Amino acid sequence: MAKTVLLIEDEPNITEAMRFILQRDGWSVSIHADGATALDAVDRVRPDVVVLDVMLPNRSGFLILRDIRAARQTRDLPVLMLTAKGQEKDRALAESYGVSHFMTKPFSNQEILARLQELTQP
C-alpha cells in the first residue's frame, strides 16, 4: 500500500513538480495550499508524513507545525519543512517546534525522496 504525503504548499509550480516526483516514486499525494485550514487537512487526510512550506497564505508553517505537535493524535507525525528562508533563525525556530527535518528550496529530487523514506521508516 502506498504511503501518503500531505503537501502543504501554495506555489503551483512547486506543488506540481513535487506531486510528479512523489507519485512517480509510488507515494499517494494530497495537496493543500491554505495555512488557515492546514490542520483540518492533516486531520482529514491522516498522512504518513507532511511536507510543510513556511510561507503560506493566512497562517505561517511555523504555527501549523506548533499545532501539529501540540495535538495528541499528530504529535509524532513526521514533518519535513521546506522553505526559501534558509536562515539559521528559521531552522532554530522550526527545531524548537519539533520539526522532523528542515530543508531549503531549491532542493534535489533525490534528497527529498530520501528524507521522506527516512521519515516514514518504521
* Block residue for cell numbers 487537512: 41
DSSP reduced 3-state for 46:
coil
Q: Per residue in 106-119, pLDDT tens?
A: 889 999 999 999 99
Predicted structure pTM score: 0.95
Residues 6+ apart with CB under 8 A from 108: none
Q: Per residue in 2-20, pLDDT tens?
A: 899 999 999 999 999 999 9
Domain ranges across the chain: 4-119
Kindly report the number of other CB atoms within 10 A of residue 94's CB atom. 22
Q: Compute CA 31 distance to the chain's CA centroid, rounded to the nearest angstrom.
A: 10
User: What cell does 41 get?
Assistant: 487537512
pLDDT band at 42 (very low <50, low <70, confident <90, very high): very high
What was the pLDDT predicted at 1? 76
Task: Give me the CATH topology for the region 4-119.
Answer: Rossmann fold (3.40.50)
